[in-house]
Amino acid sequence: MPRLALLQSRSFPSKSEALAHHEPLIRQAAAAGANIVVTQELFLTPYFCGVQDPAAFDLADTLPGPITERLGALAGELGIVLIASLFERRGPGLYHNTAATFDADGSWLGLYRKAHIPQDPGFEEKFFFAPGDSGWPVWTTRFGNIGVLICWDQWYPEAARLMALGGAQLLVYPTAIGWLATEKAALGELQHGAWETVQRGHAVANGCYLAAVNRCGHCGDTEFWGRSFVAGPYGQLLAKASTSDEQILYQDLDYGSLEEVRRLWPFFRDRRIDAYGELTQRWRS
Amino acid sequence: MPRLALLQSRSFPSKSEALAHHEPLIRQAAAAGANIVVTQELFLTPYFCGVQDPAAFDLADTLPGPITERLGALAGELGIVLIASLFERRGPGLYHNTAATFDADGSWLGLYRKAHIPQDPGFEEKFFFAPGDSGWPVWTTRFGNIGVLICWDQWYPEAARLMALGGAQLLVYPTAIGWLATEKAALGELQHGAWETVQRGHAVANGCYLAAVNRCGHCGDTEFWGRSFVAGPYGQLLAKASTSDEQILYQDLDYGSLEEVRRLWPFFRDRRIDAYGELTQRWRS
């Protein structure tokens, strides 16, 4: 069974420090038998979207580039699938929140550019990221068919479904979600519960594994939730990380069991594709 | 705030007995302040879909007909919105699993015909019910905008989303789901957990209330789960009924709070309607 490892980590002041911290973690995970290793969202940088500062664009990388060469070489050396969430400079004035996926031979499978972009106080992402136009690629890797989505995408059943229709056995969400100090007391637990529940629901509806890799610690006014987790095809929590500490979270994945689940509950058989056309409308009234 | 009442009930040998049992329950709920009353799935009959017996078609009602007249009169008399799940004979050899909704003045708002039809041992519904072609109507009632879906629909994020896009503040699912004796020990709690989780996820993704009204007790080889519930827009469980006993489950609904939730988490703002076209495909590979 493939072993998944999620790198729940804090923020670092510089990209070089973040990389110097993560490389040993990736090696440690591989040494512990991990076959698929996933970073948190924008793992090389602090969560810079708290304020709309144009200087933060300097943090972006051109892809492919030195960072993908280095990560691909690491994946190939260790024989792991590596999924890294990066800040991409695609063109002058055109930036994306992007995940790069490398197969276990080190080859670069491609990019997924975050499709759903949030914009609210403390999460000013529409200032930084153009909405992705990479579609819904499912990566055929040595260790399974993987659909990579990113953070705000996790609230959208459409995104999970499209990946599952593309054959995904595992959905992975690099994430940076947390509380604003002003909201935590009143809404904190409700918000965290909603976040976990909606993703567990995607695992049920699509009969697949689902993993969310969140940041921990503070960044500006935001306190990240940690609590990275892996859910199974019944939405059951299989593994869950600490709230505040760095942690490598491991979970073995039994893809064969997905076939059993989908035979008992064949949701894909009965989808009413003749009646879903209005899903592409903004509103129905 | 409108008060919702879910009539979790057992099965009765005849339609007349079921109606004689439910009328006092509906009056009791109204006397307790309920404004919206919902029956379980196919509340007039035993769960006859356990075996493919053509004689069971005799249980169906033509709609509109005496049953809708009687239920509409009751709704009007009590001033309640009444949602009743019925077995409909639409034409010769054409039957549906249908929910009728009555406004608080007794007027019949219309039918929803179950769109997703299951077929597995013990739940032989494709034998009995043609897939619904009523679309995704949202009923504008005196006590809110209500989207009625039925049982197997509950596993489909598409159905919940389409109702929410139509303005639903409350999703209601009359349901008859249970365990086969052969599966209960190994999968029982996982299956129940999945059922509750996926629906709580719909409430989160759509920022709405969601209520599932299940049967209790045994019918043939099936042990129904009971555990009807109401979830709020964070997916939180607000009310939950017994596993094995009949119960009227009440919950007050604060529709105003949905506006607050959707302002903090404006999921509808960011849907990628330009990129969802393949949701109408059966499979993407």
- Closest partner CB to B193 (pick from A236, A266, A279): A236
Identify all chain A residues contacting B274, using CB atoms and an 8 Å cutoff. Answer: 280
| Residue A35 near residue A81 (C-beta atoms within 8 A) | yes
Q: Domain containing B66 — which CATH number? A: 3.60.110.10
Cα dihedral B253, B259, B263, B268 sign: positive
Tally of domains within chain A: 1
- Closest partner CB to B275 (pick from A120, A135, A265): A135
Strands (DSSP E) found in chain A: 3-8, 36-39, 81-91, 94-102, 108-113, 138-141, 144-148, 170-174, 178-180, 209-213, 216-219, 222-225, 229-231, 237-240, 247-252
Q: Do A276 and B120 touch (CB under 8 A)?
A: no
Q: Which residues make Cβ contacts (< 8 Å) with residue A70, sequence separation at least 6?
A: A19
Cis amide prior to A64 (ω within 30 degrees): yes
The Cβ-side half-sphere exposure at A283, using a 13 Å CA radius, reads 7
Amino acid at A117: I
> pLDDT tens across A117-149, in order?
999 988 999 999 999 999 999 999 999 999 999
| Residue B223 near residue B184 (C-beta atoms within 8 A) | yes
> pLDDT tens across B208-243, in order?
999 999 999 998 888 999 999 999 999 999 999 999
Quickly state the pLDDT bin for A162 (edges 50, 70, 90).
very high
For residue B249, give the 3-state DSSP assignment: strand
Whether residue A220 has pLDDT greater than 90: no
Q: Is B7 left (phi over 0), alpha (psi -120 to 50) or beta?
A: beta
Q: Do B284 and A165 touch (CB under 8 A)?
A: yes
| Residue A81 near residue A109 (C-beta atoms within 8 A) | no
Whether A114 is catalytic is yes
Identify all chain B residues contacting A278, using CB atoms and an 8 Å cutoff. Answer: 136, 162, 165
Quickly state the pLDDT bin for B256 (edges 50, 70, 90).
very high
Looking at residue A183, its pLDDT comes to: 83
> pLDDT tens across B45-99, in order?
999 999 999 999 999 999 999 999 999 999 999 999 999 999 999 999 999 999 9
Q: Output A127-131 pairs: Cβ under 8 A, ≥24 positions apart.
A: A127/A49, A127/A52, A128/A48, A128/A49, A128/A52, A128/A56, A128/A57, A128/A87, A128/A95, A128/A97, A129/A95, A129/A96, A129/A97, A130/A90, A130/A94, A130/A95, A130/A96, A131/B272
Predicted ipTM?
Answer: 0.97
Asked if the structure places residue A172 within a domain, the reply is: yes
Asked if the structure places residue B285 within a domain, the reply is: no
Q: Which of B236, B237, B284, B285 to mutate to test the interface with A (most CBs of A within 10 A)?
A: B284
Average pLDDT, chain A: 97
Percentage of chain B exceeding pLDDT 90: 94
B140 bridge partner residues: B145
For residue B95, give the 3-state DSSP assignment: strand
Percentage of chain A exceeding pLDDT 90: 94
Burial degree of B278 (CB within 10 A; 0-12, 13-18, 19+)? middle
Catalytic residue among A49, A124, A125, A151: A151
Asked if the structure places residue A211 within a domain, the reply is: yes
Quickly state the pLDDT bin for A285 (edges 50, 70, 90).
confident
Quickly state the pLDDT bin for A181 (edges 50, 70, 90).
confident
Instruction: Give the separation between CA A69 and CA B127, rounded to whole angstroms.
Output: 57
Looking at residue B183, its pLDDT comes to: 83
Asked if the structure places residue B133 within a domain, the reply is: yes
Q: Do A204 and B190 touch (CB under 8 A)?
A: no
Q: Do B116 and A271 touch (CB under 8 A)?
A: yes
Maximal C-alpha separation, chain B: 55
| Strand bridging mode B144-148 / B138-141 | antiparallel
Instruction: Give the separation between CA B135 and CA B112, rounded to whole angstroms.
Output: 8
Catalytic residue among B151, B208, B216, B219: B151
Joined tokens for residue B196: 């509750």
| φ, ψ (nearest 5 deg) of residue B261 | -60, -45
- Closest partner CB to A116 (pick from B133, B160, B270): B270
Looking at residue B220, its pLDDT comes to: 84
Instruction: Give the separation between CA A271 and CA A266, rounded to whole angstroms.
Output: 10
Asked if the structure places residue A285 within a domain, the reply is: no
Whether residue B129 has pLDDT greater than 90: yes
155-214 in A: which are within 8 Å (CB) of B? 155-162, 165-167, 183, 187, 190-191, 193-194, 197-202, 204-205
- Structural domain of B235: 3-280
Instruction: Give the separation between CA B72 and CA B63, rounded to whole angstroms.
Output: 12
> pLDDT tens across B17-53, in order?
999 999 999 999 999 999 999 999 999 999 999 999 9
Whether residue B184 has pLDDT greater than 90: no
Asked if the structure places residue A34 within a domain, the reply is: yes
Catalytic residue among A49, A114, A216, A219: A114
Whether residue A180 has pLDDT greater than 90: no
- Closest partner CB to B204 (pick from A198, A273, A279): A198
Looking at residue A120, its pLDDT comes to: 92
Instruction: Give the separation between CA B106 and CA A249, rounded to whole angstroms.
Output: 56
Q: Do B236 and A280 touch (CB under 8 A)?
A: no
Catalytic residue among B41, B124, B196, B223: B41
For A234, which residue in chain B has the nearest alpha carbon? Answer: B194
> pLDDT tens across A246-283, in order?
999 999 999 999 999 999 999 999 999 999 999 999 99
Which residue from B159, B160, B25 is spatially nearest to B82, judged by alpha carbons? B25
Burial degree of A130 (CB within 10 A; 0-12, 13-18, 19+)? middle
> pLDDT tens across A21-67, in order?
999 999 999 999 999 999 999 999 999 999 999 999 999 999 999 99
